[in-house]
Every structure is written in C-alpha cells, then in structure tokens.
Amino acid sequence: MPFPVFRDARRAAMLLAVFSAWLLAEPAARAANEWPVWGGDAGATHFSGLTDITPANVASLEVAWTHRSGDHADGSGRTRATYFQATPLAVNGRLYYCTPFQRVFALDPDTGAELWQFDPAVKTLTGEGPYPLNCRGVTYWEDSAAPAGAFCARRIFYGTSDSELIALDADTGRPCGDFGTDGRVDLRRDLDEPRAWAVHPTSPPLVMRDRVVINGFVADNLEVDAAPGMVRAFDARTGALAWAWNPVPPGWQPRPSARNSPWQAGAPNSWSIITGDHERGLVFVPTGNPSPDLYGGERHGIDHYGSSTVALSIETGQVVWSFQGVHHDVWDYDTPSAPILFQADGVGGGVPAVAQTTKVGHIFLLDRVSGAPLYRVEERPVPQDGVPGETLAPTQPFPTHPAPMHPSAMAPEDAHGFTPLDRRDCARKIARYRWDGAFTPPTLAGSIGYPHSSGGMNWGSAAIDSGRGLLIVNQNHIAQVVQLIPREEAAGLDPAAQQYPNEVYPMNGTPYVARRGPLESFLGAPCSPTPWGSLAAVDLRSGDVKWRIPFGTLEGLAPWPVPVLFPDTGAPNFGGGMATASGLFFIGASMDGYFRAYSSEDGRELWKTRLPYGGHAVPMTYRGRSGAQFVVIASGGNALSRMGAELIAFRLPAAAP
C-alpha cells in the first residue's frame, strides 16, 4: 500500500531515509518474498533470502506455468531480430515484465495469468539497424505523497526502443497522463539523432528520491559525432527534466558538431544497469566507450569517463567520484554490468562497497563513498604501436584482490581443435595475427582480441552472497580478430551488410573502417583454449577463487559425437545468475539452452532442464500468495540461435518438503 501523507516535512524526510535504508538492505532486512528491483535489490546483488528450494530438493523443480507473449522474430523478416532478456519484478502482488516488442505485461505470480498488458506501438519493430529489439526490465515506484488507491500512485517506468520513457499505472497498465505527454517523455529531445535505432534505452531505469534516472545505448562504431551518451533524471510525477549528465571531462568545452545539440557528441555512453544507494543519494553508472569504439585518434581527451564506474549525486547529477577500469579504451571493453552494492564482514574492513565486473575479466572492489580501491590496483605497462594516428594509454589498471579472472594463454601451441587438421588451422591463424595480451591494440594487419568484446564478463553481472562472502560470475573465453582498414582500401566492404558475429563498421570521421569477427577454425570451432565458458566463485575476503568449472556444453551446438568426446569445453554464454540464501546459484545463459542450479559452496551441478529457447537473461525468485517459492527465467534465444519469447516459472511439487 502507498505510504501515508505526512504534513510535517521533517517526519517525512525521516521516513524516506528509513525506507531507503530498508530497501537497500534487502534481502537481509526483509522477508525476501518479493523481487522488487531488476537485480533483486537496489544494489543489484542478484541474491534472495528465500530458502524453501534447497540443494536437497532442487532436483524436484518442475514447470509451474509459462507465459507466451508471441513477441519475437519468427524468421519471416517482418520484424528485426529479438533478444528476450527481461528479468521480471515481483512486487505489488503482481509479476511485471517487458517483451522485445516493448509490450509490458502484469501477471498473476502464482498462475501466470494475464492481469493487464500495455502496447506502446513502437515505431522500430521493422526498418534499418543491425541491433536486435530488446528490453531487459521495468522499474516499480510508489508515490508516498499520493492518496491511497489513487490512479498512478503505483507506477511502472521503462524505456522503449524508439527512445521514450513511459509511465504506467501499476494496477491497470494505463498510461499516467500527468507524466510527460500522455505518460511519455521523448528521450531523443535535444539529441538530434535521426536514426531511432541508434540511441535508445536497453536497461531498466533507477527510481530514487522521486526521480527516474535513465541512460541509453548508442550504436557502436558508426561515426565520431555519434549521439551523446546522456544520463538523465526526470521527476517521477511530472516527467520534467531534473538534470542531465553528459560524460565529458571536467571543464570541457563542447567542440563543434554536425548535430544541433547542446550536448557533446561522441561522449561515452552508458547502456547497462544503473544502481543506487538510497541512503547516501548516490547513483552508480557504468559507462562505455566514446564513439567510435575501436579507434581513439579523434577523441582528443573526451574519454575521461569512458569505461568507468561513476558515482553521481541524485540531487544534482554532479560527479561525486569515478574509477576507470580501462584507459583510452579501443577494444570495446566498456564497463558492461551493474555496479553491485554490498557490505560484508572481512571485505575491505566491512565498509559499504561496490563490486564492478568487466569484459577484461577484472573485478574491482571499491569504497562506495570515495571510489577508492579496497585492495591494491596496479598500473601495468601494456602494448603500444597501434595504427597511425592512435595514441594508446601506456598502462592499464589490474586488480590484485581478486586477481584477473580471464586466462591469458594465446599462442599457437594453445590452439584448440576437434581434429589435428583444425588444430593446425587454428595454430596458423593465431601465429598470423598480433597478440600481446588482453590490451593488444587493433592493427592494420589484424590483432587478436582476447577476451572478446562480449567478455569476459558482460551485462548479466555477478551475484553476491554477502553472508558467505562469495561473488559468483559466468564468463566467456572466446577470441576474435580485429582489423582497421584504411578508408581508401575499404571500398569493397559494406557496413550495411554486417551481421553478427562478422561485423564491418564505417567509423565515419576517422581514417579507418573496422572489421571484426571470430577467431575460429575451418570447422567453425573457436581457436581459443577451452573452456569457452566458465563459472567461478570468488571468496571476497581472501580474493581467492573458491571454485571454477567449465560452464555449458556443446550439446545442440555441434553434431554428435562431438559433445560426448569433448564434454568439458564450456560454451559461450549471455546473461547472468542468481544466488539464494539456501546455497543455490541459478543460471541459464549458456548457448546449450539449459537452465541449471549449482551449489554455491562447491560448484556442483544439482539440477538442469532444457529450455525451449536459450535463457539469455537473469533469473529471479519470489514467494507467491500460495506460500510456494517460484524461480522464473526468460527463454528467448539470441542472434546465434532460434528466437522465442516464453517466460517460464518453476516451483517444487506441492507435496515436496
């Protein structure tokens, strides 16, 4: 129910502070029956205090209900490709989620029955643009100043693929007419970006102190003067702009741009999940690269906040502190995941902390108030001699607690192969391209990117079990080849024909066109050493890896008998996992299409089930009205597999203990 109205401002402020601290302390201070925020709590720990499903009974899980929206690409070409990566919310007695076609559904959490749906009729279901339609989640807010039961006293906020921020009544699904224009705010306002698909939100907004904070994806490698990477806060009641942060260096004077915008074009964007410390009024923003990603010769210092974790004031939008995970990033190693807010005895002296995972396979543990590393971070020399016109950073930051998590072996003798023939083929390719470690710069002849620009770790983030002092995270260990081609030699390359994973980017405004693709054998197998996917638990107190296992299999990806002969290869994975207080870690993510449960203590696989489509999302859990604990995951596939859109809920049989 909504909070009552308090006429006394001091009393209302005290209530807000208490409520904010209570929300951030989830799940320890709450019954953990709900999943009210994308990451489970305001700090995105991906952790639930529910203990009904345990290592002893998890093998009995069965499908409770399935909701099929029908919102997915069917191969006919009538719509763009789709990624179904939503993590639902369980709050207000309902389950809320969004689809790749940007529809929002409210479901009965026990049965999956539809309670309402909203269709924004987005304009970008078809048309140009290489990026799949996607919506990772929605955000819930209760207006403490609204009368009980008032229309839009409870709201759902989310961003669409045609760059609108929408507010809906959480009880009925009707737009909140007092927000923006008929419940909508145009996020392309002042950006002057003619391509709707080139700048839009992909992650749920953050609501804090009656403000809605939202960021937005900006298309990679198109041009120097790409749309600015704005982070903006809007009044949660009216939709009025409260502040806007353009990630440019302090004192920066905007340079002339072809765009008619007051903001600096080409600045680093922020596309992943934002988190917030309600008590301290801090908004934590993961940032990406300036434009374009793979060549920085035209940036002129604009990447001051690129590939960083930045803390902003919720009141003003001003930078409180920032920490850069990659200097002058020319690898597309943008900070891809939610800054995780946690506090654990024995970790950094028990101070409030931030854990930031990266595509490089680094985990930085930072003081939440100051941004200072809790443990030593070393600036180590890295390779130089990039393409003409490039000026590379001489050093890069390496954490020591925990140490870098991604393997670094990439020599011809490390080549994988299913047969001697394709192993030799991979060895020749590794020898052909430049490889000097994770920070090998793009070159004219071609360089190996390892980790891949998809990670390492990616947007699915990690789960933190503070009681056990564990961080559990999945990774990719796939290599790619990156080549910059002088523009005058690239006449035969058509960026419009690019299709992941073989990509061509125009990088207009630079001397180069970029080409990027997988490093694989003639049989289509990755050349990098196995495992190609891993799952690991880090002891945050000691910094040591408690356990590490290959994650995923080649089942469904390679013909028989390859999966049988090579059972420990791991597999590429996209998405993340969730931990519970009972000692379980749930994750889909793997390209083999399974949804699995592991022991948090030792990494043993305790249960798995095959999903109809890949589960490339982050699962969640809650307790229904019936008292049963449910676990839910979005099953939707991706650009490398069959696409669908099924939300699937699991529970123990009614008679199970």
CATH number of the domain that residue 201 is part of: 2.140.10.10
| Region of residue 394 (left: phi > 0; alpha: psi -120 to 50; beta: else) | alpha
Instruction: Determine contact, residues 131/67, Cβ cutoff 8 Å.
Output: no
Cis upstream peptide for 404 (omega within 30°)? no
Q: What is the spatial distance between Cα 98 and Cα 433, in angstroms, rounded to a whole number?
A: 42
Cβ-contact 500, 130 below 8 angstroms: yes
Residue 31: per-residue pLDDT: 46
* CA atoms of 264 and 586, how far apart (whole Å): 42
Q: What is d(CA 426, CA 411) in angstroms, rounded to the nearest whole number?
A: 10
Low-confidence ranges of the chain (pLDDT < 50): 1-31, 656-657
Query: Per the domain annotation, does 161 fall within a domain?
Result: yes
Could you count the other beta carbons within 10 Å of the beta carbon of residue 66? 12
Domain assignment of residue 293, yes or no: yes
Residue of 106, 154, 159 whose CA lies nearest to 134: 159
Angle (CA) 56-62-63 rounded to 5° is 150
Q: Does residue 533 contact residue 570 with C-beta atoms inside 8 Å?
A: yes
Structure confidence by residue, pLDDT tens digits, 550-605 = 999 999 999 889 999 999 999 999 999 999 999 999 999 999 999 999 999 999 99
**549 belongs to a structural domain:** no
Question: Coil, helix or strand for 175?
Answer: strand
Q: How far apart are CA 437 and CA 429, in angstroms?
A: 16
Terminal-residue alpha carbon distance, the chain: 32
Q: How many whole angstroms separate alpha carbon 412 and alpha carbon 578? A: 37
Domain membership of residue 567 (yes or no) is no
The CA-based angle 367-370-375, given to 5 degrees, is 40
**DSSP code, position 98:** E
Q: 180 is in which domain, residue-wise?
A: 9-404+582-651
Q: How many domains does the chain have?
A: 1
- What does DSSP say about strands 114-118 and 133-134: parallel, antiparallel, or unpaired? unpaired
User: Which stretches of 443-587 are DSSP H helices?
Assistant: 562-565
CA distance linking residue 463 with residue 465, whole number of Å: 7
List of E strands, 74-180: 82-83, 89-91, 94-98, 104-107, 114-118, 133-134, 139-142, 154-159, 164-169
Task: Label residue 167 left, alpha or beta by phi (over 0 means left) and psi (-120 to 50 means alpha).
Answer: beta
**For residue 35, what are the CA distances in angstroms to 49, 114, 212?**
11, 19, 19
CB atoms near residue 609 (< 10 Å): 16
In a domain, 276, yes or no: yes
Greatest Cα pair distance in the chain? 78
Among candidate residues 341, 159, 146, the one with its CA nearest the CA of residue 234: 159
Q: Is the peptide bond before 451 cis (omega within 30 degrees of 0)?
A: yes
On the CB side of 62, CA atoms within 13 Å amount to 6
HEC-encoded secondary structure of 628-648: CEEEEEEECCCCCCCCCCEEE
pLDDT value for 495: 74
Q: Which two tokens stand for residue 329?
A: 């990033």
Burial of 113 from C-beta contacts in 10 A (0-12 / 13-18 / 19+): exposed
The tokens for 62 are 């069965």
Structure tokens at 262: 């007051």
Question: What order do you get walking across the sheet with 545-550 strand by strand?
Answer: 463-465, 470-476, 533-539, 545-550
Sign of the CA dihedral with 449 first, then 227, 81, and 359 last? positive
Q: Are the C-beta atoms of residues 576 and 463 closer than 8 Å to each other? A: yes
Q: Is 437 contained in some domain?
A: no
Both tokens of 363, joined, read: 């985990």
Closest CA to 101 of 63, 61, 76, 70: 70
On whether residue 117 sits in a domain, the answer given is yes
Name the amino acid, one letter, at 359: K
Residue with the two structure tokens 């889909």: 588
Secondary structure of 249-263 in HEC code, one letter for each residue: CCCCCCCCCCCCCCC
- Active-site residue flag, 171: no
CA distance 256 to 298: 13
In a domain, 527, yes or no: no
Tokens at residue 603, please? 């990494």
Rounded CA separation 283/27 (Å): 20
Report the predicted TM-score, pTM, of the whole model to 2 decimal places: 0.94
Tell me the two tokens of residue 106. 């409210």
CA 521 to chain centroid, in Å, comes to 29
The whole-number pLDDT of residue 123 equals 83
What pLDDT sits at residue 229?
85
Nearest to 85 by CA among 163, 214, 202, 166: 202
Give the tens place of pLDDT for each residue, 483-512.
999 999 988 887 766 677 888 999 999 999
What's the rounded Cα separation, in Å, for the pair 528 and 506?
28
> What is the chain's Cα-based Rg?
23
Task: Write the CA distances from 315 to 232, 234, 333, integer angstroms.
Answer: 12, 11, 30
Q: Which of 41, 162, 303, 332 is catalytic?
A: 332
Q: Give phi and psi for 610, each to the nearest 5.
A: -85, 130
Cα distances (Å, whole numbers) of residue 300 to 158, 387, 390, 396, 618: 34, 16, 11, 19, 38
Q: For residues 488 and 621, what is the distance between their CA atoms, to the nearest angstrom? A: 54
